[in-house]
Amino acid sequence: MNRLTSPRLLLTPLKAEDKDLFTGLYRDPQVMSFIATELSETEAERRFTHTLTANNKLLPRTYCWCIKTRRQLPIGILGLSRYGRAGEIGILLRPQVQGQGYAKELLHLMQQRLSSEATLDELLLRTHKKNEPMKKVALAMGFKPVMAEPEHSRLMSFLWQTANTTLKNNKH
């Protein structure tokens, strides 16, 4: 898994030293308010261990990066889970950096990467139905609203298709 960069951000593969950031985000009620119930310390540590182990596999199904500013300040984590030719992205940002355009920059970075790699045809993004800023970002980045599954009734799903999918669909 590689480092990724954008104009303001550096994404590095999740490491053991990112534990406090990771567990802190999952335990923060403000961060988790549009995702799920915040985790207990034990649950957050268990999730970190699982994610770190999965991240270190030769061909991981789930990738997780630590998001840092160019000044090396850790501000969040980004996860990408792969399901065949589809992927799901998740972004957790510290409250003090939310609303500064980082989510849009991260989505753009992942769209560029996935389009150039041609390994995924679709990218799914879920957010709480009341998370208006993220819904606006998703729409601005070309994601289209899709029907949510009943088990995710609090959430709204958005789907983005790579140019690879568009090309395949146009051949029919």
- What is the sign of the dihedral through the CA atoms of 154, 39, 109 and 55? negative
pTM of structure:
0.86
CB 117 within 8 A of CB 56: no
pLDDT value of position 9: 97
Contacts of 172 (CB under 8 A, 6+ apart): none
Print pLDDT tens along the chain (172 aa). Answer: 588 999 999 999 999 999 999 999 999 999 998 888 899 999 999 999 999 998 888 777 889 999 999 999 999 999 999 888 888 999 999 999 999 999 999 999 998 888 777 778 888 888 888 889 999 999 999 999 887 666 666 677 788 887 654 434 433 3
Domains of the chain: 4-122 (3.40.630.30)
Q: How many CB atoms lie within 10 A of CB 91?
A: 20
Do 38 and 26 meet the contact criterion of CB atoms below 8 Å apart?
yes
Tell me the Ramachandran region of residue 9: left when phi exceeds 0, alpha when psi lies from -120 to 50, beta otherwise.
beta
Supply the pLDDT for residue 152.
61
